[in-house]
Structures are given as C-alpha cells and as structure tokens.
Structure 1
Amino acid sequence: MRKIRKTSVGSPRRHAARSVVALVAGATALGFLAPTTATADDVAGYATEVQQAAVAALSASEGITEVAAKQVLRNQETSVSTLDAVTAQLGDRHAGGYLDAEGRPVVNVLSKAAALEAGRSGVTAKVVRHSNADLAAAQAALEAVPAVTHTSIGTDVRANQIVLTVAEAADSPHLATLLATARKLGDIVRVEHVSGEMTKAVYNGEAITGGGTRCSAGFNANRGGTNYVVDAGHCTRAVSQWNIGPSVGASFPVNDYGLIRNTTGHAPGAVTLWNGSYQRISSAANATVGQRICKSGSTTRLTCGSVQRTNVTVNYREGAVHQMVQTSAAVNPGDSGGCLFAGSVGLGITSGMGGGSSYFQPVVEALNAYGVSLNR
C-alpha cells in the first residue's frame, strides 16, 4: 500500500512573502478566498467545492440523484453521533456499527433483546453471529503469523467478518501459512485477492519538501502556543527538515503519524481545495464505516468516496501499521500526509494505497499521541 502525501489548509495571501505559508495551506499558491453564500440547498459544515465533489462521487457510486446524495450527507452527521451513543449503551452486546446507503445508523447486535433496545433509540439493528471478541480473536490469529508484505487484515462490519486482502505482489514464504490459518478460522474470515501491491510512496516534487522528498502537509495544530503540522510518520521519519519547519516526531511503522514544527508563522485550521477556496476544519473524530468522506492531497488534490473498513492492519515493506481506516477515495504517490475529512470534521492522515483502496492513519490517535489540538 502506498503512502501518500499531505496537504495543509490555509488562508492564502497574494503577497509573495506568503509563498511558504501557501505551501502549508495546501502546497500551492492561492489567491484570496472568494466569499460564499449559504443557501437552503447547502449541506451544513461543507464548503461548496467539497459538497459538490462529495455529491458527485456519491451520485456516481450509488446511482442516486444529487438531491438524494445531499440528504445522505445531511443524515450522516447525526447518524454517527447516534451510533456512538447506542454502541456505548449496548457495550459487549453489539458487534460494531455502520451507516447504510442513506447515511442512517445500523448496529450489529448479538440478540433479539439487544435489537429491541437499539430500535428504541432509532437505530436499525441487525442480529449477527460473531461478537467483537470473536472478530478480534480471529484478527489476532491472522496477525500472529509472520507478516506478509502486500497484505492487509481488517474488519468488514457489514458482513460481520474479518477480511484478509492479498495483493498479487505478495510472495512471502509465510503466505501459505497465512492462507491456511484463514481457512481454519472458517466463515469468520473472508479472503480477497487484489491486483498490484501495497507500498508507501514518497516522490520528489512540489508540496512540502525536504531532503529531495515530497509529501503533502497535514492538519495544522498547536500545543502551548507553538504551531505544528500533524503529518504521516513515514514522511517525518524520512526527512528531518522541511521547507515549513523541522520534523519533531515520527511513529512508523506500527503507526503512521508524525509531527512537524510549523515555523512559517501561519497555521489556519482549514484544508485547501486547490481552486482558491478551502474547507474549514472545526473538530476531529474517528471514522465510521459507510461515512462519506473526502481527502485533499498534493497529487490527486480533492477526491471523495466512502469509508470501507476500520481497524485495518496494512503490511508495508517497512512493517505493519495498525488500526488504519480504509476508503474508496483516490490517492496516489505524493498525497502522503494529506487530510481525510467529512465536511468540517477531520478524520485521518493519508498513509498509503493498494488494491484500489486508500489507507489513513486516524487523526484523533495522532493528536492524542502528541498532545496537540487542531487549529480552528
């Protein structure tokens, strides 16, 4: 799975002295931000360009009208909060939750009694066979096999299964053992074979640069009055000094988050949309399966899709990275470190790609690890 590059957000200025700031804001020189006027048709919290991109992606993937797509985006913010509350209430009687095609909450439960309880909270309940403990044990059994590069292991909450994804580049002598283990675990595990490989990718070029390496700037954050950029760990591990400041933290593999001290004097809490406008980020949260999302990066710029899986282990050549978010949003080399978000909510840091999917480090974990807060 390839690692991609980050893009930070900012309020661009015309003055040449702000060119470095523009890099932090999105790795491109931007003009003044054009004012936008909200209409009754807008989705709350979404910049116009993000709304348009998200609606277009949703309409194309689901075959629905723009009006219906906008309603899905409106539904999902409340649905995520409802799902979090219901799963907390159910405790070990649930086996994960997700958003359906309409952006409504669905929770997997282990009994009819739990289904009735969830239903009283306005959540659709689905009785399933495997508990969270069962799924965790199955994933742990697969991860106990020596890691096989170009594979990933994660939960398909909709199917109530663990999915072992094997790219065609996987050729480890341990692959046969991994597949045999999957077969022994029975129907709790599903094996999927995909084309290509799973690798990180950091290339030369524009955006944030240092030591001949290019990545994309991530979320602007602060701690004790000092500004930082939360980025991909494989980027900050590789480069000690960027054009926006020095790397001061790196966790990769196992995690894929890092920290750059932002010395530009400018660190707005917004994501560049690559056309002179931006998406304001006002909070951070964990991603939910089925959630419609977008990402900004210096190679593929603004792309949108949906969350496919969470708690995914990705086996890069450099080692395994755990608890990743898998999405259908397009990414490419150079996007590493870029921002994953749903409207004004920050969700993740671009890490890699493989098998037609993209992988992100949850941003909440990174913020907590470094004790920083998103700039707003």
Structure 2
Amino acid sequence: MRPARIGRLVAAAATAGILAALALSPTAHAAAPDSPGLGQLAAAKTALDRAAAPPESVTSWYVDEATDQVVVEVLPEAEPVAAEFAEANGVSDDLITVVTTAEAPRLLQPWPLQEGDPYYANNNRCTVGFLIRTTAGQNGFITAGHCGSVGVRTYGFNQEPQGNFWLSQFPGSDWAVVLVTDDWIPTPITTGSQEAPIGGSVCKIGSTTGYTCGTITAKNVTVNYPQGTVTGLTRTTLCAEPGDSGGPVFSGNYQGQGIVSGGSGNCAAGGVTFFQPLLPILSSGNLTLLTAP
C-alpha cells in the first residue's frame, strides 16, 4: 500500500506544479503592482472620448491591455499635441503612449460632385460650377475666383474635406479651378458648351437661391466691383444672392454658358447677374468639360 501512497503524492505534486504554471501563464492579463489597471485606463479613454474638439492631428485612441496604457495615435510631427490633448482632458501623461501613424483614417465612401452644390472655403459658402478634368487626369470643378486663392482648402456640401484651389483669377477675371480628391465622384448634368446669343434664355443653379432663369442682355461687360474690376462678363436678368457665386449658368438642354460672378438686387425684387463665360475658362486652363452620358 505504501507505493500507492507515494504515487498519489507524486500526482498531487505534479498537479500543483501545473496549476502554478497556469497561474503564471502570460495568456491571462495580470496588472503589475504599479500599473493603473483597466478601470483607470477605461476612465481615461472615456475622458478623451468626451473631448469637445479633438485636434485633427490626433487620429485615434484606445486601451491597450498588453501594455496597460491608452495608446494615442497622431500624424507625423504631432507627438506634442497628444500630450496636450490628454492634459486638457484630465488624463495623466503617464497613462498614455503616443504612436505615430502615416496618414489619417477616412471614410471609405465616395460622395457625388454635382453642379450647383454648396462648398465651403475660407469660412464662406460658394457654389460648385462646371465639372472638369485636367490634362493630368485630375477631376475638379470651375467656380468663382473671388471664392478663394490658390492653395485654399475646400469642404463639400457635407463639410468633408474636398480639395484645393488649383487656379484662381480675381480681379481682372473671376474664375477658379478646384481639384478634388478621389472621394468625390463627378456626376455632371451638363450636356455641352454651345454659346447662347444676346436675348437667349439662361438659367442658373445656386446654393442659396436654387434654380432661377432670365435672359442675356449684353456681353463683354466690364464690372467695377468694390473689390476690383472684372472684364469680359455677360449681363443677364437672372437673380442671384450671396452664396450663389461660382454656380453654373445654362441655356436650354443644359448647355454650359458660364459661372456666376456677382450682380445687384435679389430674388425677391429681381435683379441683374453677371457671369464669367465658360469657353475662355476651358481654353485658359486647358480643361476638359465633363458632360452627362
């Protein structure tokens, strides 16, 4: 009977050893004595989640259980911003680990780019004009030059980043070209660019006053705006209001005529609207007009 007892003791010792090894196994997370613990880390992440306006250079943050830290990802050269972001929201610097990421995440969903849609630049709203493509194959749109200078960033109807002003002329002329990112898919309604004569009917689409119509009353008009003089404009009886700048002007069957520059009056009492003709813009910018299928 003695050998059996020894066997039981050996088995018990082996079992205890296995249990001890399992207790020390790295597969189970056990916080070090000086680590903050998951509760404190979760509270820190929640504090960052509640931030009213996280910096654009801070791209994400999460609790990393393996390191007992809140990982804060930032764009290159923005590491100091992470510490400022944490401190501003009551999170101790020793609770975060800053990691640099090559680029900011974005929604993987394209948006339509359409004539007459609003866009935003310099904290102002203007209107998307005619859709174009450059000789390098980049998509964009024509708009008013007074809406932005070269390099100014634009945001679309949904306030998402859209593109940048690539060309811009004002005063003298009043037109510009914005090149857009691949997130924006051109969906034109324009069918061509056959020029209408004086007396011809035209309509415009503006992000403020929508679709309004009138007639062409003069061409090659020089307009002396307070901000500068512009030559070569076309005068119409269309009505337009602030925010309509850059909007497309069509003749029948959506033949492109030009983009809204400025005018006088309003759509309640009527007025005069001037547009920058389309054909000289296409020629000057070496642009291809995008048309509906």
Give the shorter-chain TM-score range. Answer: 0.5 to 0.7
Match 1:313 to one of 217, 222, 228: 222
Partner in structure 1 of residue 128 of structure 2? 217
Structure-to-structure mapping, 1:99-114, within 5 angstroms:
none
User: Per-residue deviation at 1:307?
Assistant: 0.5
Q: Which amino acid aligns with 1:297?
A: G
TM-aligned CA distance change 1:253 to 1:285, over 3 Å = farther
Q: Which amino acid aligns with 2:120?
A: T
- The 3-state SS of whatever aligns with 1:347 is strand
* 1:249-304 superposed Cα distances (whole Å, 9 cap, x missing partner): 1011111110100213411221xxxxxxxxxx121133421001100010010000
Structure-to-structure mapping, 1:136-151, within 5 angstroms:
none
Partner in structure 2 of residue 269 of structure 1? 188
TM-score (norm 2): 0.55
Partner in structure 1 of residue 247 of structure 2? 338
Q: In structure 2, how many angstroms separate the alpha carbons of the residues matched to 1:363 and 1:17?
A: 31
TM-aligned CA distance change 1:210 to 1:239, over 3 Å = farther
Q: Which amino acid aligns with 2:258?
A: G
- The 3-state SS of whatever aligns with 1:234 is helix
* 1:98-148 superposed Cα distances (whole Å, 9 cap, x missing partner): xxxxxxxxxxxxxxxxxxxxxxxxxxxxxxxxxxxxxxxxxxxxxxxxxxx
User: Per-residue deviation at 1:238?
Assistant: 8.1
- The 3-state SS of whatever aligns with 2:133 is strand
Partner in structure 2 of residue 246 of structure 1? 164
Q: Which amino acid aligns with 1:348?
A: G
Structural RMSD (CA): 2.0
The answer to whether 1:358 aligns with 2:273 is yes
User: Per-residue deviation at 1:16?
Assistant: 10
Partner in structure 2 of residue 230 of structure 1? 142
Partner in structure 2 of residue 260 of structure 1? 178
User: Per-residue deviation at 1:239?
Assistant: 7.1
Higher relative contact order (CA 8 A, sep 6+): 1
User: Per-residue deviation at 1:21?
Assistant: 2.5
Residues 236 and 249, structure 1, Cα contact 8 Å, conserved in 2: no
Q: Which amino acid aligns with 1:333?
A: P
Q: In structure 2, how many angstroms separate the alpha carbons of the residues matched to 1:351 and 1:247?
A: 17
User: Per-residue deviation at 1:352?
Assistant: 0.1
User: Per-residue deviation at 1:330?
Assistant: 1.0
Q: In structure 2, how many angstroms separate the alpha carbons of the residues matched to 1:298 and 1:338?
A: 8
- The 3-state SS of whatever aligns with 1:21 is strand
Name stretches of at least 5 consecutive residues in structure 1 with no aligned partner: 1-14, 28-206, 271-280
TM-aligned CA distance change 1:238 to 1:215, over 3 Å = farther
Residues 116 and 248, structure 2, Cα contact 8 Å, conserved in 1: no
User: Per-residue deviation at 1:25?
Assistant: 4.9
Q: Which amino acid aligns with 2:130?
A: F
Q: What fraction of aligned residue pairs are identical, expressed as a percent?
A: 32
Q: In structure 2, how many angstroms separate the alpha carbons of the residues matched to 1:223 and 1:258?
A: 13
Q: Which amino acid aligns with 1:339?
A: P
Q: In structure 2, how many angstroms separate the alpha carbons of the residues matched to 1:215 and 1:283?
A: 23
Residues 115 and 130, structure 2, Cα contact 8 Å, conserved in 1: no
Partner in structure 1 of residue 88 of structure 2? none
User: Per-residue deviation at 1:223?
Assistant: 1.8
Structure-to-structure mapping, 1:9-48, within 5 angstroms:
17-18=109-110, 20-21=111-112, 24-27=114-117
Q: In structure 2, how many angstroms separate the alpha carbons of the residues matched to 1:318 and 1:288?
A: 29
* Larger proportion of helix: 1
TM-aligned CA distance change 1:287 to 1:255, over 3 Å = farther
Q: In structure 1, how many angstroms separate the alpha carbons of the residues matched to 2:151 and 2:275?
A: 20
Partner in structure 1 of residue 283 of structure 2? 368
Match 1:328 to one of 220, 237, 242: 237
Q: In structure 2, how many angstroms separate the alpha carbons of the residues matched to 1:335 and 1:246?
A: 19
TM-score (norm 1): 0.43
Q: Which amino acid aligns with 1:226?
A: Q
Structure 1 runs of 4+ off > 3 angstroms? 15-18
Partner in structure 1 of residue 87 of structure 2? none
* Larger proportion of strand: 2
Name stretches of at least 5 consecutive residues in structure 2 with no aligned partner: 1-106, 156-161, 266-270
